Amino acid sequence: MTQHETFEHHDHPEHHEPSGTCRVCSSPYCHEQNPSRLGICEKCGYKILILLVVVMVAISYIAWFGVL
């Protein structure tokens, strides 16, 4: 048996063609690899989550200083 025969071959994921466009940035993305019910790409999803966290922190500081 040669070394090549003993090497376990791993199947690489197939490259899928873009099947949709992002509703936020209008860039094409593959819905099969990154399923999203909202129709946004993964990058925009992370940007929106970061923005929401920043807004929540800002609102909590405003609320605390309003109480004091």
| 7-45 per-position pLDDT tens digit | 555 555 555 566 778 888 888 877 677 777 788 888 888
- What's the confidence (pLDDT) of residue 13? 54
Distance CA 40, CA 48 (A): 10
- What's the confidence (pLDDT) of residue 4? 54
Secondary structure of the chain in HEC code, one letter for each residue = CCHHHHCCCCCCCCCCCCCEECCCCCCEECCCCCCCCCCCCHHHHHHHHHHHHHHHHHHHHHHHHHHC
- What's the confidence (pLDDT) of residue 54? 97
* Predicted TM-score of the model (pTM): 0.60
